[in-house]
Chain A
Amino acid sequence: MTELRFRTFRDLPADHLLGTGTAMCAGCGGLEALHEIYDILGEKTVIINAAGCMTLLAVYPFTPFRGSWLYTAMASAPAGAQGVRDALDLLLASGRITAAEDLQTVVLTGDGAAYGMGLSATSGAIERGLDFLYVCYDNEGYGNTGQQSSGATPHGAGTATNKGPLGYPGYKKDLFAIWAAHRPAYVATVIGAEPLDLARKVERAMRLKGPKLILALAPCPTGWDFAPEETVQLGKLAVQCGVWPLKEYRDGTVVHTKVPKQRLPVEEYLKRQGRFSQLFVPERNETVLVEIQAKIDDYWCAVERHGQVEE
């Protein structure tokens, strides 16, 4: 792979391409990731969006995009990307548009679509080898409707549908592995709080042809119940506690791009979020806390055992 454009923080864009004035919540971790991603993708893109928080990025007559956008529905954004990509290819092949008029097809959805309703359409697009980039802002619940549990909700988190003392009883689905099992061109996890890692991955994805996923954990002040100014701090903790491993799937292997040297206890991450407060008050739920920590430890043991760490 040729030399990457983003080596240090100073290589990160100081000019931003995504327009301001959107209706995302103050401190939205998803918007933070999106604007960092859009800075690198640029305006030669058509964003194909599924129902979710970011449905309201564009509200008539206001759009934040320099390029194009197509709103589809919750389940079928990858199919929309298929139609646009195929049509652009046909137009290019017949000379009705020039290469300079071509666009990258980018799917943008939340975890509700990516982990659940849109999974069939996504799997189909990957198996067809569609040349597209899928960007998922994962705020671990149906955020746009008030944070009900989704397939991305972590164990023990309180949601609008899990208000009891045990929180969500299920476990977060491994979308990274589901994608990797399809053997696509590229899969990466990112977070807005680590913009350099994010920029490198988006750039790498842009250079590859085929299906690519950028899966961004999106700290959500509204749905996770923390103060908006802590979005970045919480994102960094997600990485430092090992909750959100930053990694890539490329050339058939998984590589971790930022391994926390001294992993912090997961409690540091959990206790800052209202959605996990039932694990601490009125009394500590030792069983669940130990279980969550053990799963993280197991994960990182396996990473070391398999040597899935960037040199």
Chain B
Amino acid sequence: MRVMLTGNGAAAWGARLAGVEYLPAFPITPQTEIIETIANWIDYGEFDCRVVMLDSEHSMITAAGAAATTGVRTFTATSSQGLLYGMEMLYTVAGWRAPFVLVNVSRGLASPITLEPDHNDILAARDCGFLQLHCATCQEVLDSILLAFRLTEDNRVRLPAIVNLDGFYLSFTREPVQLPSEQQVAGFLPPFDPQNQGFRAGAPFSQAVAVLGGSAYSYFRYQCHLAALNAEQAFSESAALFSEAFGRSYQAVESYRCDDAEVVFVMMGSFATKAKAAVDQLRAAGQAVGLVRPLLLRPFPVKAFGRALAGKRGVAVIDQNLSPGYGGILHAELAANLYGHSGSKPVLVSFIGGLGGRDISSEEFFEMAKITRQAVADGSAPPPRLLYTGDELREMKKWQAIALQQSGRGDQT
């Protein structure tokens, strides 16, 4: 059945079709619609699941990890400030090896507080041990939740997973989404098997005990790494099964019109479809340009990226995030992964764009392609570029004039 759904609606359907039993929740824009939708289904008897409103995201992630550790299929969702409020528990429950899925609806982080998306929230959680899937369409949101449950419950992995979608551009945007039937999903995603783990009388189980000394710590932390690495293989297997079950194919790294491309854009999230539109226009103009997009960011798909970028001469990395004092985070990751391998390497050009939901125009994509081609010709990359126009700065200056106006009050006395 094909229906119109927002990204939030698709996330709720993903959870419902996955048969989640437990949803600890806390509201935050632009995620709230997900938990409201599920809560309403439950209230009207359409879906059997337990929703519990917690006092914070920190509590919410604790409860989610605890329930998954006890042995029920668990789902939760948050965004931005909420993800960071729960940050301590992201690391903690990953260490518990608690298998559950968390949806994050990306939104720029304070300060200044804002509602529109960029990826600093989800990238702040990059190193916690959760797997990360980054969605570009509403359909991918639903599908990625089903994939994520298979990954997180895989005995070779057993790490929690985050499915990320962009606020507004996906969360509140309706698109046609193919809703699989419950039977189809049942064939793809078997019931959660806790593998005899959990808190039960007669089976003493002390989870997350302290360690003294670096050797034990190193072992446990590195096991999280090995588990995450296993998720790349598990992903390709699950994606193959998914394709059989639902007829939609996913790869850890998507290559769009890349085959003969000299220059590619690298982007993640919903803005990547804007890059696809630009690629189509550039192709129509005869330019060999493509798009490379990671769906899986953790584990970092080293080999898939290597294949996708093999033979490319220029790469425009468009980071919708900013690490102050460095620049784009995806740029850093790609640069690190291209280094140390034999063969010729593409020139990497860094762009920062789309912060706080700031739009990226077609002309800007064209310009980035042009700059990247020039960098290939020069054999060196220009300094990183923030996508920011003179018009924007002029508008900003008008606001600043108001913000910096001398108060009249002092003059009255």
Contact = CB atoms under 8 A, between A and B. Distances in A.
B201 A80 contact: no
B267 interface: no
B89 A73 contact: yes
A88 interface: yes
User: How many of chain B's residues touch chain A, expressed as a range?
Assistant: 35 or more
B89 to A, nearest CB: 6
Contact of A59 (B21, B63, B205, B211): B211
B67 A60 contact: no
A100 B50 CA distance: 23
A106 to B, nearest CB: 11
A58 B54 contact: no
Given A46-B199, A79-B58, A101-B200, A86 B67 contact: yes
A288 interface: no
Nearest to A62: B209
Q: Which of A79, A81, A96, A100 has the most CB of B within 10 A?
A: A79
Contacts of A65: 204, 206
B194 to A, nearest CB: 9
Nearest to A121: B59
Contacts, number: 158
A156 B202 CA distance: 47
A96 B71 contact: yes
B160 to A, nearest CB: 13
Interface string A86-97: 111111000011
Contacts of A81: 66
A72 B204 contact: no
A97 B198 CA distance: 11
Nearest to B95: A71
A68 interface: yes
A75 interface: yes
Given A68-B205, A71-B207, A71-B209, A79 B199 contact: no
Contact of B206 (A68, A76, A82): A68
A114 to B, nearest CB: 15
B277 interface: no
Contact of A76 (B62, B67, B202): B62
A55 B212 CA distance: 12
A146 interface: no
Contacts of B66: 48, 70, 72, 79-84, 87
B24 interface: yes
B321 to A, nearest CB: 27
B22 interface: yes
B219 to A, nearest CB: 10
B65 to A, nearest CB: 7
A67 interface: yes
B222 to A, nearest CB: 15
Contacts of B198: 87, 91
A67 B203 CA distance: 7
Contacts of B59: 75-76, 78-79, 82, 120-121, 124
A121 B55 CA distance: 6
A83 B64 contact: yes
A71 B52 CA distance: 21
B350 interface: no
28 contacts: A44-B201, A56-B210, A59-B211, A60-B211, A67-B201, A67-B204, A69-B207, A70-B69, A71-B209, A72-B66, A73-B58, A73-B62, A73-B89, A75-B58, A79-B58, A79-B66, A80-B62, A81-B66, A83-B24, A86-B50, A87-B22, A87-B74, A91-B72, A91-B198, A100-B201, A103-B199, A123-B55, A124-B59
Interface of B: 21-22, 24, 50, 52-56, 58-60, 62-72, 74, 88-89, 92, 96, 198-212, 216
